[in-house]
Chains A and B, each alone.
Chain A
Amino acid sequence: MRRLSWFNATSLTIGFAFLYMPMIILVVYSFNESKLVTVWAGFSTKWYGELFRNEAFLDAAWVTLRVAVFSSTLATILGTAAAYVLVRGGKFFGKTLFSGMIYAPLVMPDVILGLSLLLLFIAVGLDRGMLTIILAHTTFAMCYVAVVVSSRLVSFDRSLEEAALDLGCTPWDAFRSVTLPIIAPAVVSGWLLGFTLSLDDLVIASFTSGPSSTTLPIKIFSAVRLGVSPEINALSSILIGFVTIGVITFSISTKRAVVRRKREENAVM
């Protein structure tokens, strides 16, 4: 390993301090004995205990988890289907437009996305609750899934599907027994990405949630407005843990898949 120069080491330290200092402080203070957030009074895990006795938070956590699982699953199915059609569907009218439009929600401000969904739900008379949050999260997560999966499909050797058809598969059977197993790592990555995005979304959820269903980020946000409590710190620390695990798994699985694919393709080509 090469040692970093003095300059590089400093920039790295400052950069990472900037990124992670707030989170480290948050995690450290979640183990604070004192109720006052700014005064350190010794180590304790009592706020975590407190948190697990707080019904409102537990409810919100349960809602958030279900929303994340359902919406990312739904988004994975829809996003994979969309990617498949856009990459494999041959030429059809408006294909370029559709391919471009799939990216639009990625760059659209959350506020606008949330607001438009809210208007839609009101227009069709759908009561706001968990269902509407799931639908909203599915909407934006499926774009991410479509992008991840279609980039995999582009590099996928078409003749494998043809070989499957040639050997007697129906198109659906060919997709299920050849295409899907090969693109599975990308699909799983897409799911994890959707799951993580749904977990920490505040803006869209606050537009589309109802009084009966509050997600954790909304709960935290409203609790903080009444003053930061160590309990919130504890909760946020747990969330950070979850998201970190999600992101790490996502990147490891993507990286692994890329490495394996390189190896297989080098070998097969």
Chain B
Amino acid sequence: MAEPNSKPNTTVFAPWTDPDAVPLIRFRNVTKRFGDFTAIDDLTLDIYEREFFALLGPSGCGKTTMMRMLAGFENPTEGRIEIGGQDMANVPPNLRAVNMMFQSYALFPHLSVYDNIAFGLKRSDMPKEQIPDRVNEMLRLTRLERFAKRKPHQISGGQRQRVALARSLAKAPKLLLLDEPLGALDKKLREETQFELMDIQEKTGTTFVIVTHDQEEAMTVASRVAVMDAGVIKQVDTPPAIYETPNSVYVADFIGDVNLIEGTAAKTGEHAYEITYAEGVDPIKVTECEHEIAEGAKVTFAIRPEKIVVTQDPPEDRANAMQGKIIDIGYLGNLSTYHVELPGGQMVKATMTNASRISRRDYTWEDTVWLGFRSSAGVVLSE
């Protein structure tokens, strides 16, 4: 189940499963307080070399703070951070092989686009005559050749973001921190840049830590995703694992669309349970539940809308079938989302691909339909 992100290489990249692998970054019980406010709460985390590590979480949960501690602008109040086995406590930002792309871009307003990108190179040990080549390469990569001579205030928001990206990439650092690097780009350019980033990573072996508000982006680029909430990491896993087997209601709800059905659990066999959620209807049958659940415990059953099929007649090949009434249909072009009300008043969303034209569909608003899903389609969450 916990398959790593599908990468074109043949050997599976999953150093976090290897007990002998040495992490590049180690957070050890790191706490960061600003006055009384705890921005990061007792964080322990390993990030491995060549990883593309994505941080997801609501605004203010401490993502930027984590980045700033890695870059050296903030010191942990408690705990320690190691990069490449070295304790970073007293290493100033300029001596860290880390570059950061700032959320606010922080472009130098008095320097041209070209000089912004060259800024770090001029202060590295790169020979002077190689700098123009490197800068031009970066300009090409971010498609900024035409704007090389302009000042930051003479270019658009998306172009500025690309300058910031180019500037942080230019030194080819061991560790690159990207704080919402692609937010201001249009969809097409964003997708291209995502692939560009993955390509750069394949080529240079740079480790990326990326903050994003875009789940799709995290799913596309990341080797692992961390979901944060109020200074705490709720779950770290590969994108498929985060999506398919969230460990808490919070994560399930945060990532993608989900139906949450509350009920009580009863054990029916090895890794198998029944969840009773309403009077007078069949309980939900669950198999392949990896963790142990106490008899009669209050749990939440979580299932993704696309794992539920909507049919006119009772589904025969699904372990679970429930009858309900269509309240609303959300038409999204390729997909439709059906909002179905179960007898107990519980609302369930089900997503179906629009295989046939909308006018040819057998059911519509107010119709009674069947919802079906497999016993392994959802997860039982006790938290």
B120 pairs with A167, CB closer than 8 A: yes
A157 pairs with B104, CB closer than 8 A: yes
* A:142-198 near B, CB below 8 Å: 157, 159-160, 162-170, 173, 177-178, 181-182
B153 pairs with A166, CB closer than 8 A: no
B72 to chain A, nearest CB (A): 8
Q: Could you tell me the distance between the alpha carbons of A170 and B154 in the complex, rounded to whole angstroms?
A: 29
A159-B104, A264-B153, A268-B105 known; A166 vs B93 contact (CB < 8 Å): yes
Q: Could you tell me the distance between the alpha carbons of A115 and B151 in the complex, rounded to whole angstroms?
A: 51
B94 pairs with A166, CB closer than 8 A: yes
Q: Is A263 an interface residue (CB 8 A)?
A: yes
Identify B99's interface contact among A167, A170, A265, CB under 8 A: A167
Q: Could you tell me the distance between the alpha carbons of A8 and B241 in the complex, rounded to whole angstroms?
A: 76
- Chain A 116-144, CB-CB to B under 8 Å as 1, else 0, gives 00000000000000000000000000000
Q: Is B358 an interface residue (CB 8 A)?
A: no
Chain B residues with Cβ below 8 Å from A267 are 152-154
A182 pairs with B120, CB closer than 8 A: no
* B:72-122 near A, CB below 8 Å: 72-73, 92-94, 98-100, 102, 104-110, 119-120
A170-B94, A268-B153 known; A163 vs B108 contact (CB < 8 Å): yes
Q: Which residue of A lies closest to B96 (CB)?
A: A166
Q: Is B167 an interface residue (CB 8 A)?
A: yes
A166 pairs with B100, CB closer than 8 A: yes
Chain A residues with Cβ below 8 Å from B153 are 263-264, 266-268
- Chain B 212-244, CB-CB to A under 8 Å as 1, else 0, gives 000000000000000000000000000000000
Q: Is B285 an interface residue (CB 8 A)?
A: no
B123 pairs with A162, CB closer than 8 A: no
Chain A residues with Cβ below 8 Å from B108 are 160, 163-164, 178, 182
A166-B100, A267-B153 known; A173 vs B123 contact (CB < 8 Å): yes
Q: Is B339 an interface residue (CB 8 A)?
A: no
Chain B residues with Cβ below 8 Å from A166 are 71-72, 93-94, 98-100, 120
Q: Could you tell me the distance between the alpha carbons of A104 and B98 in the complex, rounded to whole angstroms?
A: 44
A263-B153, A264-B153, A267-B152 known; A165 vs B94 contact (CB < 8 Å): yes
A187 to chain B, nearest CB (A): 14
B338 to chain A, nearest CB (A): 43
Identify B120's interface contact among A168, A170, A178, CB under 8 A: A168
The range of chain A's interface size is: 20 to 34
B159 to chain A, nearest CB (A): 11
A265 to chain B, nearest CB (A): 8
Chain B residues with Cβ below 8 Å from A177 are 119
Identify A167's interface contact among B72, B160, B167, CB under 8 A: B167
B92 pairs with A165, CB closer than 8 A: yes
Chain B residues with Cβ below 8 Å from A264 are 109, 151-153
Q: Could you tell me the distance between the alpha carbons of A169 and B124 in the complex, rounded to whole angstroms?
A: 9
A164 pairs with B119, CB closer than 8 A: yes
Chain B residues with Cβ below 8 Å from A263 are 153
Q: Is B304 an interface residue (CB 8 A)?
A: no
B125 to chain A, nearest CB (A): 10
Chain A residues with Cβ below 8 Å from B123 are 167-169, 173
A74 to chain B, nearest CB (A): 26
A159 pairs with B110, CB closer than 8 A: no
Chain A residues with Cβ below 8 Å from B94 are 165-170
A106 to chain B, nearest CB (A): 30
Chain A residues with Cβ below 8 Å from B72 are 165-166
A165 pairs with B110, CB closer than 8 A: no
Identify B171's interface contact among A162, A168, A173, A182, CB under 8 A: A168
A170-B94, A181-B110 known; A163 vs B152 contact (CB < 8 Å): no
Most buried by A among B94, B151, B160: B94
A162 pairs with B109, CB closer than 8 A: no
* B:150-166 near A, CB below 8 Å: 151-154, 160
A159-B104, A267-B152 known; A167 vs B119 contact (CB < 8 Å): yes
* A:44-91 near B, CB below 8 Å: none
Chain A residues with Cβ below 8 Å from B109 are 160, 182, 264-265, 268
A134 to chain B, nearest CB (A): 32
B110 pairs with A162, CB closer than 8 A: no
Q: Which residue of A lies closest to B152 (CB)?
A: A268
A256 to chain B, nearest CB (A): 15
Chain A residues with Cβ below 8 Å from B151 are 264
Q: Could you tell me the distance between the alpha carbons of A80 and B104 in the complex, rounded to whole angstroms?
A: 26
Chain A residues with Cβ below 8 Å from B98 are 166
Chain B residues with Cβ below 8 Å from A162 are 71, 73, 93, 102, 106
Q: Could you tell me the distance between the alpha carbons of A268 and B109 in the complex, rounded to whole angstroms?
A: 8
Q: Could you tell me the distance between the alpha carbons of A170 and B100 in the complex, rounded to whole angstroms?
A: 16
Q: Could you tell me the distance between the alpha carbons of A268 and B105 in the complex, rounded to whole angstroms?
A: 8
* A:214-269 near B, CB below 8 Å: 263-269
Q: Could you tell me the distance between the alpha carbons of A178 and B167 in the complex, rounded to whole angstroms?
A: 15
Q: Could you tell me the distance between the alpha carbons of A170 and B152 in the complex, rounded to whole angstroms?
A: 24
B68 to chain A, nearest CB (A): 8
Q: Which residue of B lies closest to A266 (CB)?
A: B153
A111 to chain B, nearest CB (A): 43
Chain B residues with Cβ below 8 Å from A173 are 123
Q: Could you tell me the distance between the alpha carbons of A166 and B98 in the complex, rounded to whole angstroms?
A: 7
Q: Could you tell me the distance between the alpha carbons of A266 and B154 in the complex, rounded to whole angstroms?
A: 11
B167 pairs with A157, CB closer than 8 A: no
- Chain B 121-148, CB-CB to A under 8 Å as 1, else 0, gives 0011000000000000000000000000
Q: List 13 A-B contacts (CB under 8 A).
A: A160-B109, A162-B73, A163-B100, A168-B94, A168-B171, A169-B123, A178-B108, A181-B110, A264-B151, A264-B152, A264-B153, A265-B109, A267-B152
Question: Which of A's residues lie within 8 Å of B, judged by CB?
Answer: 157, 159-160, 162-170, 173, 177-178, 181-182, 263-269
The 7 A-B residue pairs whose C-beta atoms are closest, nearest first, are: A267-B153, A167-B120, A168-B123, A163-B106, A159-B106, A165-B93, A264-B153
